[in-house]
Structure 1
Amino acid sequence: MESDEVELFADGACSGNPGPGGWGVLLRCRGHVREISGGEFQTTNNRMELSGVIAGLSALKKPCRVMVTTDSQYVKNGMTTWIRSWKKNGFRTSSGQPVKNEDLWRELDRLAALHEITWHWVRGHDGHPENERVDLLAREAISSVRKGNSQGA
Structure 2
Amino acid sequence: MIEIYTDGAASGNPGPGGWGTILRAGKHYKELSGGFRMTTNNRMELLAVIKGLEALKSLNQEVTVFSDSKYVVDAVEKKWVFGWVSKNFKDKKNKDLWLRFLELYKLHRVKFVWIKGHNEHPENERCDRLAVFASQDKANLAIDTVFEAERAKGI
Task: Identify whether the pair has TM-score above 0.5, normalized to the shorter chain.
Answer: yes
In the alignment, structure 1 residue 150 sits paired with structure 2 residue 147: no
Choose between structure 1 and 2: higher helix proportion.
2
3-state SS, counterpart of residue 100 of structure 1:
coil
Give the TM-score of the pair, scaled to structure 2.
0.87
In structure 2, give the amino acid aligned to 1:142. S
TM-align CA RMSD: 1.0
The one-letter code matched in structure 2 to 1:132 is: E
In the other structure, the counterpart of 1:75 is 72
Name the SS for the 1:137 alignment partner: helix
Name 1:46's counterpart in structure 2: 42
- Which of 3, 6, 11 in structure 2 is aligned with 1:15? 11
Contact 2:135–2:141, Cα closer than 8 Å, also in 1: no
What is the match of residue 123 of structure 1? Answer: 116
Mapped contact 1:39–1:141 kept (Cα < 8 A) = yes
Shift of 1:103: 0.3
Identity of aligned residues (%): 48
| Paired AA for residue 65 in structure 1 | E
Which residue matches 2:98? 105
Residues of 1 paired with 2:82 and 2:18: CA distance?
28
* Alignment check: 8 A CA contact 1:24 1:135 kept: yes
Q: What amino acid maps onto 1:135 in structure 2?
A: D
Asked if 1:137 is matched to 2:137, the reply is: no
Contact 1:21–1:40 under 8 Å retained in 2: yes
Q: Name the residue aligned to 2:151.
A: none
For the residues of structure 2 that align with 1:137 and 1:83, how far apart are their CA atoms? 27
